[in-house]
A and B are shown apart, each in its own frame.
Chain A
Amino acid sequence: MVHHHSNPSPLTDMSQLFFLVWLRKNLFNSWINTILTILLGTLLFNSLLKFGHWAGNFAKWEVIPQNLPLYFVGRFPPGEYWRLWLFLSLLMLMTGLTWGVLTRLSKGYLFNPTVLCGLALAVLTISIWPFIGDQPLLIRLQLSGLIVLLSVTAQISYWCGHPSFPWGQRLTLGWVVIFLIGLWLIMGGLGLPAISSIAWGGVLLTALMSLVSSILSFPFGILLALGRQSSLPVIRGLSTLYIELVRGMPLITILFVGLIMVPLFLPSGWRLDVVFRAILGLTLFVSAYLAETIRGGLQAIPKGQFEAANSLGLNTPLTLGLIILPQALKISIPAIVGLFISLLQDTTLVSIVGLFDLLGISRSILANPIFIGRHAEVYLFIGVLYWLLCYLMSQGSRYLEKQLRSHP
């Protein structure tokens, strides 16, 4: 079945033929599939039409640009925004450096089509997004500057990233330093005016809480995993008890433990900030799951590795630290990233106990009489934000996994 155009060319004819064959094979290959296709197609078309009608005519999207700072940094004092910009630039610098070096080491291409598409999309969004404020141009320039910084650093480090230089340790050290500088810039103190945790919010608080609790949960998770595998009955019993207790309870109850019961457990007069109590709750929760994930990795290590290490004269701590854990952790990277993605999603629960993470701040925006009833717009927007964060994390982990596989 070839339809003739007004100016038929062999190429369009062929592609059209392929298209029709494809349609026949993939959508209309049996009567039941034909019915399903037509049914679902109409339904989909109708829903998209309705959504477009709503988005164009009824939705009031100004709830998003007008509150943009709230979504991203909460009630962080605007006079101190320069700290966050500084931190973002450092972050871009470090990301570019790591990316360039890793790509060089794995002999890959820096700007493959996917990455280029992503960067172009980011620039496009920055240039057409309706920023509201005194200097929309300045914000556009700053954001574009960050992207330029990222690309340029990546390119430079790609050129200079000589394989003989011990990059691995330097990069890790760099990330630790960046993390500490970031904490200092966000919290203040040591020369900078301190910013109370009540002012943190939005994406900033979500990222901070998930990052800090995932870092804190690492030592606990490893110890618990080793404890559960241990041949010492008391340690094994205690680890198993903790892991099973925490895994049997919903996160919200553990957050309540952190928020309500921890102040009772502390000596009178001691106070722990509410954000840190939430982080404590998240850490207690995620360590148990992390322990099970790492245990999976530990179980995958053949027994010969233990025996070989023992016969070399390594004692148990050295065997675990030098031989077993590096292998076990490397195996479990995909599962660990999956766990941290769900941790990022689980931080939304702190909005129930009154913190202003991305979901919490959205709810407080929706409680504002000016924006009442704008649930659909706000939830769609933060849904896209969460989706992007999770997607970037999983893509990053896939990239890291590939690099580690090619460069042990």
Chain B
Amino acid sequence: MVSRHSSDTPIPLWRDERFIRWGLQTLVLAVVIGVMGIMVVNMNRNLQQLGRQFDYTFLKNQSGFNIGEHILPYSPDDTYGWALWVGYVNTLRLILVGFVATTGVGILAGIASFSDNWLIRRLNLIYVEIVRNTPLLLQLFFWYLVVFFGLSDGSGVRRLAGIVYISKKGLYLPWPANTVSTWVAIVSVFLLAFIAYYIWRWNLRQMEQFGRPSGIPRLLLWGIGAIALLLLSVGLNWSFPFLSNDKLIIGGVRISLEYAAMLSGLTFYTGAFIAEIVRAGIQSVSKGQWEAARSLGLKTSAAMRLVVLPQALRVIIPSLNGQYMHLAKNSSLALAIGYPDIIATGQTTQNQTGRAVEIVLLWAVTYLTMNLLISLVMNRLNQSVQIQER
């Protein structure tokens, strides 16, 4: 663009950059508003022809449909609004447990790719290649219809690995009983973890100051670990499922096969991607960092923990954010399996009331806020691991 003309003739309007900038923006805005306006007008007319209008009053009506599993109290007499809320809580239950599980699987598989054991490296590679090159929906069907329904084959009850039962109704796992001592144990384990963390930090500072760790904290940490393990195994009042005489399973906790399939599918699918992120993160730390750490006298494990991992985390955490968001969005495939999440309950609501636009908007707002929250939390986490610059 010629901004300053040499001759005296004024720049014609269609070549004036200011005019082009504003003209283009006005044009684009007008087109977008125009198209959306036409769409809204059409929608209103079409809805009127169907005898409906856009509003959310239907949320107060009685739903009349059943929801297979729910944590919150729910019955078909409740309203559509409450049904959707129950579905949303089911989504959250899936996503939050999924985050923890997939992080575990991903880190484990990511570290396994550095193992010096050939078999582990091969198996890890096969896992990642299979999972990343087949559709998630197919994997979910596989988990649900082949793995879990295959395990629960027949109409009876089957015992797996001694302590787990499976039937068409669900998977029965050992679970802490809801007693006072359980909660006391949980709180004390958390307290112990805090104490251990501060001892570890203090020990680290000692190392930085005097060049060697003080011997006592190591023993102390082992002691704390042993106490925590004891509390977890005895204090939690584990309730084991068992088969009663009239062929009923008593005790433990029941997880529906739909939930189990969704959780395993999402966990192993996202885990394969997280494994690659972890691998790339550790590889991104230059070799010199390892060598420098080793030449300072740190053992391999200490070099990994104190030098390499903090630097790798800077690369890993921003990408993890994307994977968590993918997991949250992919949880919507629960609709295909029959796990009653927000999409499935919304779909039923929409089939019964015909409120497509309202439900789609509700879904959009739900997922957008969810992803926004994930981003906020992950950004805070990211800030805490970045280099503190002056």
Contacts and interface: CB of A to CB of B under 8 A. Distances in A.
Given A233-B25, A351-B336, 17 more contacts: A37-B117, A41-B119, A232-B24, A234-B28, A235-B28, A248-B371, A250-B329, A252-B343, A261-B360, A265-B42, A267-B42, A268-B46, A341-B133, A345-B135, A348-B135, A375-B141, A387-B130
A264 B46 contact: yes
Interface string A355-372: 000010001000000000
Interface string B348-375: 0010000011001001100110011000
A390 B133 contact: yes
13 contacts: A26-B118, A44-B123, A234-B28, A249-B367, A250-B331, A251-B332, A253-B332, A256-B360, A264-B357, A268-B42, A268-B49, A352-B335, A376-B150
Given A249-B363, A352-B335, A33 B116 contact: yes
Interface in B320-350: 325, 329-333, 335-336, 343, 350
Contacts of B134: 345, 383, 386-387, 390
Which residue among B39, B49, B330 has the maximum number of chain A CB atoms within 10 Å of its CB?
B39
B135 A346 contact: yes
Given A232-B25, A235-B24, A27 B119 contact: yes
Contacts of B280: none
Contact of B47 (A235, A264, A348): A264
A249 to B, nearest CB: 5
Contact of B329 (A41, A249, A352, A376): A249
B303 interface: no
Interface string B27-66: 0110010000001001101110100000000000000000
B136 interface: yes
A86 B191 CA distance: 72
B100 interface: no
B101 interface: no
B200 interface: no
Nearest to B117: A33
Contacts of B142: 375, 379, 383
Nearest to A234: B25
Contacts of A265: 39, 42-43
Interface in A225-273: 232-235, 238, 245, 248-253, 256-257, 260-261, 263-268
Interface of B: 1, 21, 24-25, 28-29, 32, 39, 42-43, 45-47, 49, 116-120, 123, 130, 133-138, 141-142, 145-146, 149-150, 325, 329-333, 335-336, 343, 350, 356-357, 360, 363-364, 367-368, 371-372
A394 B130 CA distance: 14
Main secondary structure of the interface of A (DSSP, over half): helix
Contacts of A257: 360
A351 B141 CA distance: 12
A251 B329 contact: yes
Contacts of B343: 250, 252-253
B141 A36 contact: no
Which residue among B24, B49, B118, B331 has the maximum number of chain A CB atoms within 10 Å of its CB?
B118
A304 B350 CA distance: 54
Contact of A27 (B1, B45, B118, B360): B118
A118 to B, nearest CB: 16
Which residue among A248, A268, A348 has the maximum number of chain B CB atoms within 10 Å of its CB?
A248
A322 to B, nearest CB: 16
Q: What 7 A-B pairs have minimum CB-CB distances, sorted nearest first?
A: A250-B332, A26-B118, A345-B135, A234-B25, A250-B329, A265-B39, A390-B133
Nearest to B140: A348
Given A253-B332, A265-B39, A248 B368 contact: yes
B335 A252 contact: yes
A245 B361 CA distance: 11
Contacts of B360: 253, 256-257, 260-261
A374 to B, nearest CB: 10
Contacts of A6: none
A248 B367 contact: yes
A315 interface: yes
A313 to B, nearest CB: 9
A379 B146 contact: yes
A339 interface: no
Nearest to B372: A248
A379 B139 CA distance: 9
A46 B255 CA distance: 28
Contact of A352 (B24, B117, B146, B336): B336
B58 to A, nearest CB: 16
A316 interface: yes
A250 B45 CA distance: 28
B148 to A, nearest CB: 11
A81 interface: no
A267 B335 CA distance: 31
A233 B29 CA distance: 11
Interface in A364-408: 375-376, 379, 382-383, 386-387, 390-391, 394
B364 A40 contact: no
Given A44-B123, A375-B145, A376-B146, A264 B356 contact: yes
B117 A245 contact: no
A153 to B, nearest CB: 28
Contacts of A232: 21, 24-25
A264 B42 contact: yes
Contacts of B119: 27, 36-37, 40-41, 44
A249 B368 contact: yes
Nearest to B375: A248
Contact of B133 (A33, A266, A387): A387
Contacts of B150: 376
A343 B262 CA distance: 21
A256 to B, nearest CB: 6
A196 interface: no
A379 B135 CA distance: 11
B24 A27 contact: no
B42 A266 contact: yes
A29 interface: yes
Nearest to A310: B1
B115 to A, nearest CB: 8
Which residue among B141, B363, B367 has the maximum number of chain A CB atoms within 10 Å of its CB?
B141
Given A37-B119, A260-B356, A253 B367 contact: yes
Nearest to A341: B133
Contacts of B28: 234-235, 238
